[in-house]
Structure 1
């Protein structure tokens, strides 16, 4: 453990499970004080407990990223009395269900836009305000390999994840003069609680797994490791990138 982030603060939205929890643990293991946010207090408290059991420091804040006042309050809570926000990982997202475009639920699409597009936009709005004021920072948006390619049955999801990439690139250009970096990660299928409920021997899971040339799905820790790298000085010249972590899924 290098503790390369000692004395620094981080915010992870959607930090109660899956990639968000793994990311919180990874950032805390490097010395960061991590604030995890999300809608379910029970899972957030469990993430905090796991971080503390591992010797790290964390706190939680209950919020819905589609609510602007909650997002603003979340960023204030993450800054706390430190006066800084070094890293922000916008991981909160809504996946929805497999539905062909002709049958796609408008309500499901609206929820995806509220969380995946509005939520990331609002999060960056207040995170970047803080980072510009302090003159440094790194933002990582959790997009998806689905934002890089088409995925049958997930047109709404792919649309919102592509939108996250567009927001990442535009924001990266805006804040580059302040020394702030904004990047996106584009995971393929990841072993998370949501995936655990799906039968790998049935469609569409079977075909999605087969579409990963490495022949497996990712572990959440592999995605978290990429977040740590993007936040670190080792990625100091990387901004505006949509980085696939997908076992070859998005290779043409």
Structure 2
């Protein structure tokens, strides 16, 4: 490992599994002190255990990103001991189930808006307060290739992911003069617990729609997070980086 993040502090929401866990491992592997946040202590503890077993440094905080007081507290916890927040990955989210728009559950849509849009908004709100005070920082938002194209049966999900991309761009423009970079990663289908409950036929169809002929591994998305968090992307802000095996190519 390069230890390019040695001495830096990172905060990862949705850090208990999937892309969040893979990203926490990757950031810690490059030297960052990583705080993982989520709603389930057991999965967060397992992420911390894996990071420490690999020789990295991590801690956890239980927090629901839709609760403003909880996310404010979680961001404060991430700065404990260092007073800094150098890297933030806003990864918590919800993809829901396949449903045609005419049959779409309003409760499911409300939950998506709460987790994907409100959760990301609140996370950035408090991350940016810390980063603005210190005059630097990097935020990476986990959006989706689904926010760039239409996906039948997932109209609510695509809407919230498009909102995340728009929020990323607007916030990047606001924060640029303060030395803060904000970008989004837009994966295609990734082999995570979020897709475990998808019907096999739907999963097979979605996998086949990726020109590379497979779905991504969480570690491949984590590599994009590390790139955007690093100095190798020092002149990149406000982008939606597609890491989708060609899914969104016109």
Scaled to the shorter chain, the TM-score interval is over 0.9
Aligned residues of 2:186 and 2:241 also touching (Cα < 8 A): yes
| Residue 243 (str. 1) matches residue 241 (str. 2) | yes
Unaligned runs of 5+ in 1: none
- TM-score, L = length of structure 2: 0.99
Q: Which runs of 4+ in 1 moved over 6 A?
A: none
The corresponding residue for 2:107 is 107
1:29-108 map, 5 Å: 29-108=29-108
Task: Give 3-state SS (helix, strand or coil) of 1:212's partner.
Answer: coil
Aligned Cα RMSD in Å? Answer: 0.8
Q: How big is each residue's C-alpha offset from its partner over 1:127-149, in whole Å with a ceiling of 9 and x where there is no partner?
A: 01100000000000000000000
How much has 1:88 moved relative to structure 2?
Answer: 0.3
Q: How far apart in 1 are the matches of 2:218 and 2:130?
A: 28
Rounded to whole Å, the distance in 2 between the matches of 1:206 and 1:33 is 38
The match for 1:229 is: 227
- Give the deviation of 1:203 after TM superposition: 2.5
> How far is the alpha carbon of 1:207 from its aligned partner?
1.5
Summarize the alignment of residues 11-22 of structure 1 with structure 2, pairs less than 5 Å apart.
11-22=11-22
**How many residues are paired up?**
250
Whether the aligned pair in 1 keeps the contact of 2:97 and 2:198 (CA below 8 Å) is no
Gapped regions of structure 2 (runs ≥ 5): none
Q: Distance in 2 between matches of 1:195 and 1:118?
A: 22
| 1:121 shift after superposition | 0.3
Is residue 2:186 matched to residue 1:186? yes
Partner SS for 1:218: coil
| TM-score (norm: length of structure 1) | 0.98
Residue equivalent to 1:171: 171
Residues 95, 194 of structure 2: 8 Å contact kept? no
Question: What's the CA shift string for 1:142-177, capped at 9, x where partnerless?
Answer: 000000000000000000000000000000000000
Q: How does 1:134-213 map to 2 (within 5 A)?
A: 134-198=134-198, 202-213=200-211
Using the TM superposition, give the Cα deviation of residue 195 of structure 1 relative to its aligned residue in structure 2, in angstroms. 2.7
Residue correspondence of structure 1 range 19-30 to structure 2 within 5 A: 19-30=19-30
* Aligned-residue offset at 1:197: 4.3
Contact 2:28/2:58 (<8 A) preserved: yes
